Chains A and B, each alone.
Chain A
Amino acid sequence: MSTSLVEAEALAPQPGATLRQRQWAVLIRATMRQWRSRIGLGIFSLMVLIALAGPLIAPDSPTAFVTAPNAPPSVHGPFGGDVLGRDVWSRFLYGGRTVLGMALAATIIGVGLGLVVGLTAAYRRGWVDETLMRIADVFMAFPQIVLALLLVAAFGPSVPLIILMVGISHAPRVARVIRGAAQQVVEREFVQAAEAVGEPRRRIIFGELLPNVSSPLTVEFGLRLTYSIGLIAALNFIGAGIQPPTADWGVMINENRLAVAFQPWGVLLPIIAIALLTIGTNLLTDGFARAVIGLERGE
């Protein structure tokens, strides 16, 4: 499965590749000219930095009992203690890795799978298209969180299961978008030319079609990442994913929400973090989508 853009570029014929590289440069510049993209990228980078570097600067272990339960902020902990007397600030600094890592993994699975299905359906047409889209309909008949819960009911709470199910629940939605974009490309001359010289089917799908759907693919990746962060955080929050005592923003919100009236920090820090993360990815994705539309109109 060649799903990365870099690989797709390498597969593409040389003259086209340079042209495409220039198009990408133009697209990225058009994205970054908009203030919403700059703010989005800034917020997103900050949150990723907190998630990755947080554990290095955390003063305490995220699972050590260092204060009284629900202790108010003090010199020992700037945001006080959580419901069991662990340092809120340290748990917050440790809690971003899980949600961000799980969301990224689920997005890569979902977008990768949706890409392969969408391109195959658009290229093969006929019964292959019909069958793939019916299967997609069945998986789209469940709200995403319900599909994940169905499997958690059978197998119990599990991190790999949640990642897989969130990914699978994205796949049909991505497949539909990619199929729609690729259907227009399939009709173009260079695809027929590639067929005429006998290029293998897989090379046509990934070498000819894929580079031509890369901008809707990027928009889908951004959108699905935003939704994945929300879904994964929600599943961890309701206890279907990461289990206590592991520090995770979703888990933290659930642990501390009953004490929110007198110790709000255990809920506030993770909830602001999740909100900023999703707003950041959404602003950046919206900026990119606007740049794509702007360039298409300019042509």
Chain B
Amino acid sequence: MTRFLLKRIALGILTLFLVSVVVFAATQALPGNAATAILGRNATPARVAALSRQLHLNESAFAQYIHWLGDILKGNLGISAATQEPVTHYISGRLANSGFLVLVSAIVAIPLSIMLGVWMAVRRDKPADQALSVGTLGLAALPDFVIGILLVLLLGTNVTHIFPPVSLVPPGEHAWDVPKAVVLPALTLVLAVTPYISRIMRASMVEVLESDYVTMARLKGLPNRTVIWRHAVPNAIVPAIQVSALQLAYMAGGVVVVEYVFAYPGIGSALIDAVGNRDVPVVQALTLIIAAVYVVVNVGADVLTILVTPRLRTAGR
């Protein structure tokens, strides 16, 4: 098992390295000189030359990559081309806001979907299960921004005015200081991931409920609650845990459009702004961070799966 874990982690690190190459190569494709792009067309040749030296633009692409990667590993993400402030300074508060949004969404979504899945499995093929089956299938098909805008219509503007349609967070404050601002973006993410987790939990639970040991537990005369929550759920939960971890990774990308819908001050809306401004250092930093979270959570999901599955845990000892 240890060998498999080490191999999985090593592959994760290799993937991260290749991701950095892709991010670097993609932003190198920028037509024209990056220094001219930052300074604008009217910059004096002397300033362009100075910035080119500072950015190592006169060296080979390989040398530039090494400088760039070295800086990142030292925690220096460069200077934003749009705001002229250090990228780390620009994104740190936003990173915390996005992390908070994902955390809140996960804390609500994961237990909720697992309970929903159990409930559907217990009422298998009854009207409630069939309605929820189709409902979650339809919800799973909806793009995140469609869910977000429908929520704005229902809860933020036209039908009711319960929550603000725009997540205004005063400068200097964090998202958790303004809980109202987090509700609609978080609800959007919850609705986006719940169908996947609950459907997997339902399928897994249906299988377990048909097993011999559940029949055995029922024949012993155990109360229904005990059979379901003590005997069935712990055995059915592994695929749901795995999918929950994958949905957590999905949210790292999902925040991009959801934050844009609500103008939520996180890394997602920052990425879209940076793409609009063609602010290369910020785009590089944010795509790297999002990809890193994605890779780490995926590796974590695999590790977790091995740890909670006895058959895999003992294999290859």
Q: Which positions in A face B, CB cutoff 8 Å?
A: 36, 134, 137-139, 141-146, 149-156, 226, 229-231, 233-234, 237-240, 253, 257, 260-261, 264, 267-268, 271, 274-275, 278-279, 281-283, 286
Contact of A153 with B278 in the complex, beta carbons under 8 Å:
yes
Query: Could you give, for residues 144-167 of chain B, a 1 whenever the CB lies within 8 Å of some chain A CB and a 0 otherwise?
Result: 111001101100011000000000
Contact among A238, A257, A261, A279 with B141 in the assembled complex (CB-CB below 8 Å): A279
Q: Which positions in B face A, CB cutoff 8 Å?
A: 11, 14-16, 18-19, 22-23, 26-27, 29-31, 134, 137-138, 140-146, 149-150, 152-153, 157-158, 249-250, 252-254, 256-257, 260, 271-272, 274-276, 278-280, 283, 287, 290-291, 294-295, 298
List, in ascending order, chain B residues with CB within 8 A of A226's CB: 141
Taking the nearest CB of chain A, how far is it from the CB of B64, in angstroms? 15
CA distance A150 to B274 in the complex (A): 10
A143-B252, A261-B158, A264-B153 given as contacts; is B23 within 8 A of A150 (CB)? Answer: yes
CA distance A261 to B254 in the complex (A): 26
List, in ascending order, chain B residues with CB within 8 A of A152's CB: 275
Contact of A267 with B19 in the complex, beta carbons under 8 Å:
no
Contact of A261 with B142 in the complex, beta carbons under 8 Å:
no
Which residue of the partner chain B has the closest CB to A281? B141
Contact of B158 with A143 in the complex, beta carbons under 8 Å:
no
List, in ascending order, chain B residues with CB within 8 A of A268's CB: 153
Which of A154, A233, A261, A264 counts the most B-chain CB atoms under 10 A from its CB? A154
Contact of A260 with B23 in the complex, beta carbons under 8 Å:
no
Which of A138, A153, A154 counts the most B-chain CB atoms under 10 A from its CB? A153
Please list 21 pairs of residues, one from A and one from B, whose beta carbons are closer than 8 Å in the complex, sorted by A's number. A36-B137, A141-B291, A142-B19, A143-B294, A146-B256, A149-B275, A150-B27, A151-B29, A153-B27, A156-B278, A230-B143, A230-B144, A231-B143, A234-B143, A239-B276, A257-B152, A260-B157, A264-B158, A278-B143, A279-B142, A283-B138
CA distance A123 to B144 in the complex (A): 37
CA distance A149 to B272 in the complex (A): 8
A143-B294, A234-B257 given as contacts; is B149 within 8 A of A257 (CB)? Answer: yes
What 8 A-B pairs have minimum CB-CB distances, sorted nearest first? A143-B253, A230-B143, A282-B141, A278-B141, A153-B283, A138-B18, A261-B157, A153-B275
Taking the nearest CB of chain B, how far is it from the CB of A98, in angstroms? 15
Contact among A141, A155, A231 with B15 in the assembled complex (CB-CB below 8 Å): A141
CA distance A271 to B254 in the complex (A): 18
Contact of B15 with A137 in the complex, beta carbons under 8 Å:
yes
Contact of B29 with A154 in the complex, beta carbons under 8 Å:
yes
List, in ascending order, chain A residues with CB within 8 A of B254's CB: 143
Contact of A153 with B11 in the complex, beta carbons under 8 Å:
no
CA distance A229 to B143 in the complex (A): 8
Kindly list 20 other residue pairs between chains A and B, CB separation below 8 angstroms, not including A234-B145, A240-B275.
Answer: A137-B15, A141-B16, A141-B291, A141-B298, A142-B19, A142-B294, A143-B252, A143-B254, A143-B256, A149-B256, A149-B287, A150-B287, A153-B275, A226-B141, A231-B143, A260-B157, A268-B153, A271-B146, A271-B150, A275-B150
CA distance A237 to B261 in the complex (A): 9
CA distance A231 to B256 in the complex (A): 12
List, in ascending order, chain A residues with CB within 8 A of B298's CB: 141
CA distance A149 to B279 in the complex (A): 12
List, in ascending order, chain B residues with CB within 8 A of A142's CB: 19, 22, 253, 287, 290-291, 294
Which residue of the partner chain A has the closest CB to B269? A238
Taking the nearest CB of chain A, how far is it from the CB of B81, in angstroms? 11
Taking the nearest CB of chain A, how far is it from the CB of B293, in angstroms? 9
Taking the nearest CB of chain B, how far is it from the CB of A251, in angstroms? 13
CA distance A257 to B165 in the complex (A): 10
List, in ascending order, chain A residues with CB within 8 A of B138's CB: 279, 282-283
Taking the nearest CB of chain A, how far is it from the CB of B300, in angstroms? 14
Taking the nearest CB of chain A, how far is it from the CB of B229, in angstroms? 29
A146-B290, A260-B152 given as contacts; is B27 within 8 A of A138 (CB)? Answer: no
Contact among A146, A238, A281, A283 with B260 in the assembled complex (CB-CB below 8 Å): A238
List, in ascending order, chain A residues with CB within 8 A of B295's CB: 141
Taking the nearest CB of chain B, how far is it from the CB of A294, in angstroms? 15
CA distance A271 to B42 in the complex (A): 43
CA distance A253 to B152 in the complex (A): 12
Contact of B294 with A141 in the complex, beta carbons under 8 Å:
yes
CA distance A155 to B134 in the complex (A): 41
Taking the nearest CB of chain A, how far is it from the CB of B33, in angstroms? 14
Contact of B290 with A154 in the complex, beta carbons under 8 Å:
no
CA distance A142 to B15 in the complex (A): 11
List, in ascending order, chain B residues with CB within 8 A of A229's CB: 143
Contact of A145 with B29 in the complex, beta carbons under 8 Å:
no
List, in ascending order, chain B residues with CB within 8 A of A278's CB: 141-143, 146
Contact of A150 with B283 in the complex, beta carbons under 8 Å:
yes
CA distance A268 to B150 in the complex (A): 9
A149-B275, A279-B138 given as contacts; is B153 within 8 A of A267 (CB)? Answer: yes
Which residue of the partner chain B has the closest CB to A230? B143
